[in-house]
Amino acid sequence: MTTQGEKETTRIEAFSDGVFAIAVTLLILEVKVPRNLPPDQLLAALAHQWPAWLAFLSSFLSIGIMWLNHHRLFTLIHRCDEPLLFYNLLLLLAITIVPFPTALLAEYIRGPGSRVAGLLYTIHGMIIAVCYTLLWRHAATGNRLLGPRISHDLAHAIFKQYRFGPLLSLGCVGLSLVSPYAAVGVMVALTLFFAVRPAALRCALDEELAT
């Protein structure tokens, strides 16, 4: 029998999925079609757009993996309360901002503003990591919002594995002041790393999906 809390969680996921979908769609708007060029210059103009494509692909990958982790966590979260709604909205706010630092990075990565663009891009990534940590910490503390099969030790193990996200992102913020290219590369690598399910999360999902 479905509880009211579970119905609310389903609505949260549906609303969140819509926000993720809109954010990822808006990214491509920053890749512009070259206009009014002679045919022999079109290929060179397209090649000149590589920063925009790099920013688009890295941000598309980031949002996709953010959605994946959001889905994983809400598979384990069965109930909701007002603080959870707040933390989820805070996360979605950060998600909707993704197209802006992406556009900024694409525009300025090759010029003197590259450090500022890289700095804002990595700070934004760190904010998203903090939002995920806050959301899971609230849901998992005392197992207040988790499914009945998720033990306290398992929930804490998941938190320990995810809490390094903000710290690693902070390192990228510092690196962006030295080399924006390296910072963006490390951010992409971290995104790929968090696409892999931690052992504790894999165990929790297996137990939950077995019900």
Domain spans of the chain? Answer: 4-27+50-209
Over the chain (211 residues), the average pLDDT of each successive run of 10 is 54 93 85 78 80 80 90 89 94 91 81 88 92 92 84 78 82 89 85 73 65 58
Within a 10 A sphere around the Cβ of 89, how many other Cβ atoms? Answer: 15
pLDDT at 19: 94
pLDDT at 3: 44
Rounded-to-integer distance, Cα 132 and Cα 82, Å: 16
Taking only the tens place, the pLDDT of each residue in 23-72 is 888 888 777 777 877 877 878 877 877 777 877 887 888 899 899 989 98
CA angle (14 as vertex; 61, 66 as ends), nearest 5? 20
Terminal-to-terminal C-alpha distance of the chain: 13
pTM for the model stands at 0.81
Q: What SS3 class is residue 144?
A: coil
Q: Which alpha helices (DSSP H) does 27-151 contain, by range?
A: 39-48, 50-76, 82-97, 99-108, 114-140
Q: Cβ neighbours of residue 46 under 8 Å, at least 6 residues apart?
A: 34
Using alpha carbons, select from 22, 16, 165, 159 the residue that is nearest to residue 85: 16
Tally the C-alpha atoms within 13 A of residue 69's C-alpha that lie toward its C-beta: 28
pLDDT at 5: 42
Rounded-to-integer distance, Cα 115 and Cα 199, Å: 36
Torsion of the alpha carbons at 65, 71, 168 and 203, rounded to the nearest 10: -120
pLDDT at 197: 67
